[in-house]
Amino acid sequence: MAILQLLQQHGLEQFYMDWILPRLKERRTVGITLAIALLYALHRKITTPPSYLRHLPVLGFYSFYKAILSNVTVDQYSKDVCLPVMLKSPGAFVRPTVGFWTIQLTDPIAIKQLLTKTDIFPKSELNQGLTGTLMHRFIGGENIVMLNGEDWKRHRKIANPAFNRAMPVKLFGELTATMFKTMEETGPKIDVLDLFSRITIDTIGKAGFGFDFHALENKNNEWVENYDSIKEGMLDPFFLVFPFLDTTLLNWFPKRQQIHRKLDKFLEMLGGIIEERRASLKQAKLDNSSGNSVDVQDRDLLTLMIECEQSENATLSNDELRRNLCIFFLAGHDTTAFTLAFMIYELAVNPDMQDRARKEAIEILGDDSQDKLPTIEDTKKMTYINAVMKETMRLHNPVLNTTSREATEDCYLNDIFIKKGSLVCADILDVHRNPKVWNSPYEFNPDRFLPGGEAEQHSSSGLSWIPFSSGGRICVGMNFSLVEQRVVLSMLLRKYTWKLPGDSIHANGLKTHGVAFGIISTKDLNIEFEKRY
């Protein structure tokens, strides 16, 4: 009872009721461990930032954890928790994370300096989480996101040309046409996040490593269910706050063990595909043939990366390839699905913008009563559609901040002092909503991104729009995602009109969550579609 009273004092009782109490019923000894962990978490050393960070405004330990553990919406977190602290700062504030504190940059000039000085600000190993946890096993280790120095350059040397060559526009269109069949079978009211999660998992499976998940045809198949369990497991706030329970004490949680076994199977599947692909390409070389009659832009990323090993004079082990595929899978599936869902919502509640975007799609693709698959040249003409996409990623960017960098020396970022050893990241959520940077930042206004618009005026002074990060470590899949979004949205605009149902939980604003893990999601985003042909 003493622990519960302490939690109530700091507003964390809901976390206890939702995440701790159910697990106490699984095994009594867990209660003792959790009691010790909670008391440790409340210790002053954990709840107070280091002295070398106290020159900046601080988002308090209890304010932050109360927000993430009570599952507040991203809008509430941004307006009620971050904004009051951000307005006190010169472009940065200090925020707790699980086990450490980070400097959150919200000034575009400081962000530009951070993201371009990769030698002074390498990626921190803390981004990967505790070794052995579900998160670390899926996104940690030697991959293009987490590595630094020469190892990172070796990975980038192979991934960059692979992504530059791979632009399967035809595949994007064909899967969108398949998605239309799924929509017809589902009915007029559709959960768009579920729908886009299915098309993007099929897209990254085929375009990434030549595997068909058949998610559009059957969302309940084994592979889709396995991945969904893994993703939900990584987002579990309980194990994010207490990661040690996800490793050495894992046998206390049978359900968690089951998710780890599903990850074992998923990783084994990827490993098998890599071995088979290497063997087939090697045999093709021995046979003095290309081994692949598919056009370069339509080949999957795995094939292109293996082929690039020779042309770029660099190699990746099978384990490194597998770890990169996991990163590409997470980034190429979830973030693109969320962005598409949020775009559909904004166009549903802004019908004039929807009509304007549809007019552009029809001007480019025609208004015939049949599906039209855009070409790469078609996608380059979609000026307003592109502005809708960019404004969606500004207001509802799926990722809250960049991965943390660790300062290797004392320095300044636009007059903000950074002590050696400090963890620093670009706060994507808050720079995108910074009232010192954007006019009416909580208003959805695609015109910002039209030629001569507000966004164009920002570009010379710093980085105020960074959904894919920037600099040398900009997301390698940026163009892949943008083209996929243009294809899906333009085809949807020609085929359907849509609106938000009157009884939607999002009627008074989009309710998004995900502050704990840093990737924004939502639920029950049902939209009513009506066919145009």
The pLDDT of residue 38? 55
Q: Based on the domain organization, do 14 and 147 belong to the same domain?
A: no
CATH of the domain at 414: 1.10.630.10
Q: Based on the domain organization, do 21 and 111 belong to the same domain?
A: no
What pTM value is reported for the model?
Answer: 0.88
| CA angle, 461 then 465 then 468, to 5° | 125
Q: Based on the domain organization, do 15 and 153 belong to the same domain?
A: no
Q: Based on the domain organization, do 32 and 127 belong to the same domain?
A: no
Q: Based on the domain organization, do 350 and 411 belong to the same domain?
A: yes
Q: How far apart are the first and last CA of the chain?
A: 63
Q: Based on the domain organization, do 11 and 110 belong to the same domain?
A: no
The pLDDT of residue 286? 75
Q: What is the pLDDT along the chain (533 residues), one digit of tens a residue?
A: 444 555 555 555 555 566 555 655 555 555 555 555 555 555 566 788 999 999 999 999 888 888 877 778 999 999 999 999 999 988 999 999 877 899 999 999 999 999 999 999 999 887 777 889 998 999 888 888 888 888 898 998 888 888 888 789 999 999 999 999 999 999 899 999 999 999 999 999 999 999 999 999 988 888 889 988 998 898 787 787 778 889 887 888 899 999 999 999 999 999 999 999 999 888 887 776 655 555 656 688 899 899 888 777 778 899 999 999 999 888 888 889 999 999 999 999 999 999 999 999 999 999 999 999 999 999 999 999 999 999 999 999 999 999 999 999 999 999 999 999 999 999 999 999 999 999 999 999 999 999 999 998 876 679 999 999 998 899 999 999 999 999 999 999 999 999 999 999 999 999 998 776 678 889 999 999 999 99
Sign of CA dihedral 47, 52, 53, 57: positive
Helix/strand/coil percent split, the chain, to 5: 55, 10, 35
Q: Based on the domain organization, do 368 and 484 belong to the same domain?
A: yes
Contact (Cβ atoms closer than 8 angstroms) between residue 144 and residue 156: yes
The pLDDT of residue 1? 45
Q: Based on the domain organization, do 482 and 387 belong to the same domain?
A: yes
Contact (Cβ atoms closer than 8 angstroms) between residue 36 and residue 29: no
Closest to 197 in 3D by CA, of 182, 209, 187, 210: 182
State how beta strands 100-105 and 423-426 pair: parallel
Place of tokens 């706050």: 241
Q: Based on the domain organization, do 281 and 362 belong to the same domain?
A: yes
How many independent structural domains does the chain possess? Answer: 2
Q: What is the distance between the alpha carbons of residues 226 and 230, in angstroms, rounded to a whole number?
A: 6
Task: Retrieve residue 133's tokens.
Answer: 């946890």
The pLDDT of residue 412? 97
How far is CA 372 from its chain centroid? 29
Closest to 400 in 3D by CA, of 521, 518, 234, 517: 518
Q: Could you list the residues known to form a binding site, using ranges.
A: 475
The pLDDT of residue 407? 97
Find the domain containing 426 and state its range.
43-531
The pLDDT of residue 2? 46
Q: Could you list the residues known to form a binding site for heme, using ranges.
A: 475
Q: Based on the domain organization, do 99 and 13 belong to the same domain?
A: no
Sign of CA dihedral 309, 314, 319, 323: negative
Q: Based on the domain organization, do 202 and 264 belong to the same domain?
A: yes
Q: Based on the domain organization, do 36 and 68 belong to the same domain?
A: no
Q: Count how many residues are written for the chain.
A: 533
